[in-house]
Structure 1
Amino acid sequence: MTTLTSWVDYKWNSDKVISVLNSGASVRNWNPGVSISEDIRKPWKTSTRAYGQTIFKGSMVWKGTGVRTDKKQTVWGNNKGKQGGSIVKM
């Protein structure tokens, strides 16, 4: 089992996102056949959303062959306190 987590920390009021403080990521991997590293991108903002993005670079052995399993996770929070995100295969 592997867990990929990304987050973005930001300041906001009811009108707008004021600033993005930072972003980060973590990997919890209990599979000895999988190796995962993370590349945390610089966070950014629009007037109503703060974004964080991480590229997770994975490799594993599958039936004796090395396989890449890279993912891009994007998370966001808005000026109303809601959040969301997506993870896509690269």
Structure 2
Amino acid sequence: MTKLSVWVNYYTNGNKITKVNFADGGKRNYNGAVTISKGVPKHWKDGSYANGSVVWEGNIVFKGFGVSIDKREKVWANEYGYRGGYLKNI
């Protein structure tokens, strides 16, 4: 079992986002055959949304063969909080 998370930290004045501070991510990996590393998190403001993303680089070792499984995780929020997110293969 593997759990990946990404979040974005930002300021709001109650009506709009005033500043996007940072994004970060965390993982919990209970699968010994999978290694996962985190790329550099990115943050930005896009219109009325604060955005954060991170690329996860994973490798699976199975019977001597290595398979790469890279994913991009993104989250966005407005002045009221979480609005959406995704985890996609890249």
Gaps in structure 2 of 5+ consecutive residues: none
Contact map agreement 1:39 1:56 (CA 8 A) in 2: yes
SS at match of 2:81: coil
SS at match of 1:61: strand
Gaps in structure 1 of 5+ consecutive residues: none
CA distance in 1 between counterparts of 2:19 and 2:6 reads: 18
* Pair 1:72-2:67 in alignment: no
CA drift of 1:16 comes to: 1.9
Runs of 4+ in structure 1 deviating by more than 6 angstroms, as ranges, are none
Count of equivalent residues = 90
TM-score (norm 2): 0.90
SS at match of 2:39: strand
Contact map agreement 1:50 1:78 (CA 8 A) in 2: yes
Describe the superposition over 1:15-39 as per-residue Cα deviations: whole angstroms up to 9, x where unpaired.
3210011110011001111000001
* Pair 1:18-2:3 in alignment: no
CA distance in 1 between counterparts of 2:13 and 2:46 reads: 14
Contact map agreement 2:25 2:41 (CA 8 A) in 1: no
For 2:10, the aligned partner's letter is Y
Q: Which moved more, 1:29-38 or 1:14-23?
A: 14-23
SS at match of 1:43: strand
SS at match of 2:42: coil
Matched-pair identity in %: 38
CA distance in 2 between counterparts of 1:23 and 1:2 reads: 20
